[in-house]
Amino acid sequence: MMIALMAAYLVFLFAIVRLGIVRFNPFWKGSPFIVLLLLNLGLFIPMGWGAPQGPALVVRHAVSIVPDVAGEVLDVPVMANTPVKPGDVLFRIDPVPYQAQVRTIEAQLKLSATRLAQMTQLFERDSGRGFDVEQRQSEVDQLKGQLEAAQWNLDKTTVRAPGEGYVTNLALRKGARVANLPLAPVMAFIDTSGTIIGVEINQIDARHVEPGQEAEVTFKFAPGHIYAGRVEGVLQAIATGQAQASGTAVMPKAIEAAPFVVRIKLDDAEVARRLPAGSTGTAAIYTEHLKPTHVIRRVILRQVAILNYVNPF
C-alpha cells in the first residue's frame, strides 16, 4: 500500500512539474522523502496499533487413538479423511478372549450366588454360621466387580470415534495386533467439532486488542475471499514466558519479543468447519483506537487476498 501511495504521489509530482504549475526546485526534489516520512509517522505506524495484522493458522485438536485392550484387529470400517460422527466404529478387535473371560466369571458368579443362598438358609435355620454367609457375600461382590471389568474390556474391543471428525494417515489394517500402551497410538483422529484460528500479533501492536473486536481473515486455501469474525481472546502465555520445574539453575538466553497469539472465531461456522487443519492466511483486527487507519488496513488485506492467487508464501 505504501508503494502505491508513493507511486501516486510521484505521478502527481511529475504532472504538476510537467505542466509548469511548480518549479522543480530542491524542495520538490526532496518532497518524496518528506511524504514518505509523513506516511510512516501519520498512517502506517499508527495503523499497526489501531488495526494490527498478522499471520493466521487453522488448528484442530488431534486425538491419538490408543485401544483400551490388546488383541488382533478383525475389521477397520473407517475410511481415511472421511467425516464420522461420535460413536461410529473405527475398528474392531477380536472379542473371543474377552467373551470367554466374561462367561467364566458369570459361571463362577452363578455358583457363588447359589452357595450364598444355601448358606443364608442354613443361617436362618440356626444351622450355619454368620461368618460363612459374609464370606460368600464377599465372594459374590468380588465376582460382580470382576464381571463389570470383564464386560467393560469386551465392550472396548469395538473402538469408536470420540467425537465429530475424521481419521487421517490411516495405516491400520485387518490382521494387525494392537496393544493398550499409551506410547503406541494406532491412528490419529482429527476433531472437527471446534475450529481454532490463531493470529500472531507483534507485542507492540497487541496492547489494544480485546475480546469482541471485529476481525477479518483471508486464507491461502481460499484466495480472493475475506471472512469476517470476532476476537475470542488473547492467549495470556507463550512458551518463552513459561517456567518449568527442573533440577538446574536458570539458563541465560537471548530475550526476544515473540509475538502474542490472538484467537478469533469466524462468523460463518460452516466456513470454519470446512477449513483444513494447517490452513494459513493473514488476519487483521480492528480495535477501538485510531479508526481512520482501518480503511487502509481493509484495503491492504484485500490486496493480500488477491495476491494469494499467485503468492505461495
Grid cell 515473540 in the structure block, residue: 258
C-alpha to C-alpha distance for 236 and 234, rounded to whole angstroms: 6
CB 159 within 8 A of CB 172: no
- φ, ψ at 263 (rounded to 5°): -100, 130
Task: Find residue 92's DSSP bridge partners.
Answer: 75, 158
pLDDT digits (tens, 9 = 90+) for 249-269: 877 888 888 899 999 999 998
Tell me the average pLDDT across 92-116. Answer: 94
Task: Show Cβ contacts of residue 176 under 8 Å, excluding neighbours closer than 6 positions.
Answer: 72, 73, 186
Q: Which residue has the higher pLDDT, 44 or 165?
A: 165
Given a contact cutoff of 8 angstroms between Cβ atoms, the answer to whether 112 and 140 are in contact is yes
**Rounded distance, CA 288 to CA 210, Å?**
9
Q: Cα dist. 62→30, 163, 189, 231 in Å? A: 57, 11, 6, 23
Q: What is the pLDDT of residues 132-141, one digit of tens each?
A: 778 888 899 9
Residue 56 has which C-alpha cell?
Answer: 493466521
What is the pLDDT, as a whole number, of residue 2?
Answer: 65
Q: Tell me which DSSP letter residue 84 carries.
A: B
Strand bridging mode 165-168 / 187-191: antiparallel
Question: Do 91 and 73 contact (CB within 8 A), yes or no?
Answer: yes
- β-bridge mates for residue 278, sequence order: none
Identify whether the C-beta of residue 65 lies closer than 8 Å to the C-beta of residue 186.
Answer: yes
pLDDT attached to residue 266: 95
Give the pLDDT confidence of 20-76 residue by residue, as tens digits.
787 888 877 788 787 778 777 777 888 989 999 999 999 998 999 999 999 999 999
pTM of the model: 0.75
pLDDT band for position 225 (cuts 50, 70, 90): very high
Torsional class of 106: left (φ above 0), alpha (ψ -120 to 50), beta (otherwise): alpha
DSSP 241-298: G-----SS---------PPEEEEEEES-HHHHHHSPTT-EEEEEEE-SS-TTHHHHHH
What's the Cα-to-Cα distance from 7 to each of 21, 26, 45, 163, 295, rounded to whole Å? 19, 20, 19, 54, 19
Residues 6+ apart with CB under 8 A from 181: 66
**Separation between Cα atoms, residue 101 and residue 92, nearest integer Å:** 18
Between 175 and 41, name the one with better pLDDT.
Answer: 175
